[in-house]
Amino acid sequence: MTLTPDLYQRFIDLIYKRTGIWFETNKRYFVDKRLDERIAELGLENYREYYQHLKFSTDQTEMQQLINRLTINETYFFRDFPQLQGFAEEVLLQVVKDKVAAGNRKIKLWSAGCSTGEEPYTLAIILLEMLPEPETWTIEILASDINTRVLDVARKGYYNSRSVKDVPTEYLERYFARYREMYILNNKVRNMVNFKVINLMEQHEMKLQVDYDFIFCRNVLIYFTPESRLNVLESYYRSLKRGGYIYLGHSESVARITDAFKMRRIGSSIVYYKP
């Protein structure tokens, strides 16, 4: 069974159209391995048969299976601590102050590409710590991902020591219970986050997301092309309130993709907002 360069390219194009993720040629071993696994599990004869199944089947189950294997889901609590500190101590406090002055006690956040949930739960903990009388606020945290497997893990709220390595001890004691080798997030934090499957490339679903104060989409668009990145950032522009903020990962830059957002420097981090 051989995968010709032409057929490989067709798989890559198909995956790209569906997810926005582009696999460079140097990722071929990674993609091949996942294709081989699925072909073996389905008992198919060859790559062409699998390609046709993916492309022409009206049932999206197999495409979802493949996506679940192809996405990179690396994450942990309090990832990029300095960026989150800038968010918590400067940006969030300013937004909260403005809201309180306007008599508005509702705050809406979206963690897009949330993987196994560490990022949205981190944001929930930050809100509990930073909001004055958090119980008097309406807090909405949407956490979404294209990968259904990671969302199942996220909803459970059980984590290993690697996931919580950057959680300050004080928060670890306040928000987690220890069971053997696992750290179990308490229900108060778990119940603050609503998990949903959203493919960032699906316009229909993206248009439903409106009025966000903050969107976190960290370490997601690095796997996209300039075109699919722009597409997603245009959606985020619509989804944010005027004055709302977008956070990308450490090595990612909104400015290189679009000039629709304005930049602010906070300590060593950069943040963008919708003017």
Interface residues with ligand SAM (CB under 6 A) are 19-21, 71-75, 79, 113-115, 119, 145-147, 150, 199-201, 218-220, 249
Q: Which is nearer to ligand SAM, 124 or 220 (CB)?
A: 220
CA distance 114 to 195: 9
Give, as one character, the DSSP assignment of residue 23: -
Render the burial of 256-266: b for 16+ CB within 10 Å, e for the rest.
ebeeebeeeee
Q: Which is nearer to ligand SAM, 105 or 149 (CB)?
A: 149
Measured from the CB of residue 80, what is the shortest distance to ligand SAM in angstroms?
8
CA distance 165 to 34: 30
Q: For the chain, how big is the Rg over CA atoms in Å?
A: 20
Q: Are 108 and 213 in contact (CB under 8 A)?
A: yes
Measured from the CB of residue 48, what is the shortest distance to ligand SAM in angstroms?
26
> At 124, phi and psi to the nearest 5?
-60, -45
CA distance 177 to 183: 6
Query: Closest Cα to residue 67, out of 159, 194, 200?
Result: 200
Q: Which is nearer to ligand SAM, 46 or 225 (CB)?
A: 225
Measured from the CB of residue 97, what is the shortest distance to ligand SAM in angstroms?
27
CA distance 135 to 258: 37
Measured from the CB of residue 113, what is the shortest distance to ligand SAM in angstroms?
3
Q: Which is nearer to ligand SAM, 206 or 240 (CB)?
A: 206
Measured from the CB of residue 224, what is the shortest distance to ligand SAM in angstroms?
7
Q: Which is nearer to ligand SAM, 35 or 96 (CB)?
A: 35
Measured from the CB of residue 98, what is the shortest distance to ligand SAM in angstroms?
26
Q: Which is nearer to ligand SAM, 219 or 240 (CB)?
A: 219
> At 196, phi and psi to the nearest 5?
-150, 145
